[in-house]
Amino acid sequence: MIKEPRLRFTEEERTDPALEKPIRRAQKAAVRADKAQARIPKKKVRQTVIDPDTGKKTTKLTFEEQAKPPSKLSHAVRGAPANALLAGAHKEIRKSEQDNVGVEGAHKTEQAVEVSERLVREGYRSHKLKPYREAARAEQKLEKANINALYQKSLAENPQLASNPLSRWQQKQAIKKEYAAAKRAGQTAGHTAQAAGHTTKTAQKTGKAAKSVKEKAEQAGRFVMRHKKGFLIVLALFLLVCLLMNTLSSCSMLAQSIGSAVSGSTYPSKDEDMLGAEADYAAKEAELQAELDNMESLHPGYDEYRYNLDPIGHNPHELAAYLSALLHEYTPQSAAAQLQRVFDLQYVLTLTEEVEIRYRTETSTDPETGETTSEEVPYEYYILHVELVNTQISALAPELLTPDEYEMYQVYIATRGNKPLLFGGGSPDMGNSEDLSGVEFINGTRPGNPGLVDLAKRQVGNVGGYPYWSWYGFNSRVEWCACFVSWCYNQAGKSEPRFAGCQSQGVPWFQSHGQWGGRGYANIAPGDAIFFDWDLDGSADHVGIVIGTDGSRVYTVEGNSGDACKIKSYDLNYQCIKGYGLMNWN
């Protein structure tokens, strides 16, 4: 059984607050591993010792640690002959048991006894192997504790490595490789010690050959001095070749390192599967929104409905990072249970009934005297409190994932899985906002909303999109082009459409309401939404607001265009225009 190294720490390291906890865990794991090793059965060995003076023989009984548990193969081989004989016997009995009920009953009883005996043997063997299993588990836990202690020590010595999740992940992978190499070297050292005796004899022979080698070296040195110019040229060429080879090797290692980092931080699932899972989650949110919109019809009979609602919405990359860290590669079907689990934790809808005793004035007239009187009459006033709490996935992830999974989650968030535009992530355009001076717009027959366009144009220059994604309900930055468009519509008095994802929410809303026009649609109006498909894969990646058209180009205001609000323009037949969301301002 391979034993893990037992790390040694200085007193200064033990008292360091940042290292105290991981060191204590590593030491506790080492103690547990030692105890588990001590429980492994010892092999009894008899040794005979002869006293050189008296010639008297003494036999001693010593205990040696058994290197490994009994082999499963040897256990099976030892039982093979008996099993073969029993199988043959049972085969012969089955030929005749059809004709004799007594033989059949006795045969089945015998088989039951054999099964019971086999189960007892296997149980006994499992009991004998238990110390080895416990020792192996203890060594695995010790390895994990050792790597964590070395990782924390590395972070304490190099604070710059903790600057982002990707750096921390790469550092931890490097420490795991170094630890494995050091462990292999330690095991090799044990075998090397056994070969030391043979090396001593070899060294004696080598000493004799050294003299002749020295003489040959002196002769070669004299030859080099006689032709030193030629040797200097050869040496310079050799050094140049070595330099080129070293440069190529460094480039190769750098390329491998970069490739490893990119592949390790990329979403492992297929794009269509990730978009499918995102669409399923958005459908759950749409059902929840529909329930809120129809609350009064679903729960009738109340005098008043009071709402305290967090916005509905999530960061698609947070969901994808969570599923990738937990499930690695997933499909909408394999992720269905986790989607429901996260949804139930993210959205908590609470309905609370309250009954107030209120008073109303009732007037009555005495039929005999005709006198009119008024009095305050109590009655019950029913109120339904509707509260929706939205806890973002980024706040749930630390509780739902293990430390290693959460570390991978942070890597995916930092890199956006190397697919920033997968869920409609904005525009990569880093150019400046365009000037509309001299542009003559041509109005179509559909009414637009110039006030909305002016509001959107006043946002030009915003960087980072904080007012828009925070208004939507996110507590950290997301790809915010859709949030910007939704914010503008809300400011113009429209509660819908409201979407944070272009392909999963925005396009379906316009299409389901019959308000969609494809690329080349001739009657676009100021205030319409314009959707883009940058990689031409059929999915919308970005959205903006139409300012107008001059007959050949369409002018837009876009959020998250290079992480800023900008005015841009495109040819009306630009192939990356997916289509238009046609707003109805009537």
Q: What is the pLDDT of residue 70?
A: 57
Q: What is the pLDDT of residue 230?
A: 66
How does DSSP classify residue 433? P
Q: What is the pLDDT of residue 251?
A: 56
Q: β-strand 347-365 against 372-390: which pairing, if any?
A: antiparallel
* Extents of the domains making up the chain: 1-190, 271-350+386-418, 450-581
Low-confidence ranges of the chain (pLDDT < 70): 1-4, 42-47, 59-117, 120, 125, 160-164, 166-167, 186-231, 234, 245-263, 421, 424-425
Give CA–CA dist 294/297, Å, rounded. Answer: 5
- In CATH, what class is 450-581? alpha beta
Give CA–CA dist 270/502, Å, rounded. Answer: 19
Per-residue exposure over 24-56, b if at least 16 CB sit within 10 Å of its own CB, e if not: ebbbebbebbeebbeebeeeeeeeeeeeeeeee
Give CA separation, 316 vs 192, 294, 394, 553, in Å.
55, 26, 11, 32
What is the distance in angstroms between the CA of the first residue and the CA of the last residue of the chain?
79
Q: What is the pLDDT of residue 223?
A: 59
Scanning 265-308, the segments in alpha helix (DSSP H) are 271-293, 295-298
Give CA–CA dist 406/421, Å, rounded. Answer: 23
In sequence order, the β-bridge partners of residue 556 are: 546, 568
Q: What is the pLDDT of residue 549?
A: 95
Q: What is the pLDDT of residue 38?
A: 79
Quickly count: other Cβ atoms within 10 Å of residue 166's Cβ: 17
Torsion of CA 116, 118, 123, 126, to 10 degrees: -170
Q: What is the pLDDT of residue 313?
A: 78
Tell me the per-residue pLDDT of 437-469, one tens digit each, with 9 for 90 and over: 999 998 889 999 999 999 999 999 998 898 999
For 11, the token pair is 């007193």
Instruction: Answer for the pair 489, 498: CB distance below 8 angstroms, yes or no.
Output: yes
Q: Decide: residue 146, CB within 10 A, 0-12 exposed, 13-18 middle, 19+ buried.
A: buried
Give CA–CA dist 317/422, Å, rounded. Answer: 9
Q: What is the pLDDT of residue 120?
A: 66
Q: What is the pLDDT of residue 195?
A: 43
Q: What is the pLDDT of residue 454?
A: 95
Scanning 265-378, the segments in alpha helix (DSSP H) are 271-293, 295-298, 316-327, 336-346
Instruction: Answer for the pair 417, 410: CB distance below 8 angstroms, yes or no.
Output: no
Give CA–CA dist 500/509, Å, rounded. Answer: 12
Give CA–CA dist 158/145, Å, rounded. Answer: 20
Quickly count: other Cβ atoms within 10 Å of residue 152's Cβ: 21
